Amino acid sequence: MLTARDLAAMRTTQAEAQPETATIHRSSDVSDGRGGQTTTWTADTATITARIGYLTAAEQTTANALGLERAVVLSLPVGTDVAETDRVIIGTRTYQVAGPLKGSYQTALRVMATDIGDA
């Protein structure tokens, strides 16, 4: 069993292995001025480190079952406030968050996301 100190050391190592800078954008509905609503994106809800990775075979099966195309895994710092409706911008690419991937001894927050194109 890992101690809190062991886990903290592993999280530090994980954080050092996240070479990208990412921004989280959160959606909100605002009035369109005609009685309806439109979705807008709040830029730079948070700026964090990140790493883009590939899905395992099991994760790819889940992505296929959910109909997700161009799915990737984003590794973010533990405790990052990211929701399934958020977008993560890394460089020139935008990723739509599909949901978190669960596991024990979390050294990073891993989320499945879909690459939706240039930012």
Residues 6+ apart with CB under 8 A from 100: 82, 109, 110, 111, 112
Residues 6+ apart with CB under 8 A from 67: none
Distance from the Cα of residue 112 to its chain's centroid: 7
67-87 pLDDT, tens digit each: 998 999 999 999 999 999 899
Question: If we measure between CA atoms, which residue out of 56, 63, 113 comes closest to residue 90?
Answer: 113
Q: Enter the pTM of the model.
A: 0.84
Fold of 4-118: Thrombin, subunit H (2.40.10)
Tell me the domain boundaries of the chain: 4-118
Task: Give the least confident one: 4-8, 39-43, 48-52, 84-88.
Answer: 39-43
* pLDDT category of residue 119 using cuts at 50, 70 and 90: low
Confidence at residue 38, expressed as pLDDT on a 0 to 100 scale: 84
- Please report where in the chains the tokens 């979705």 appear, as a residue: 39
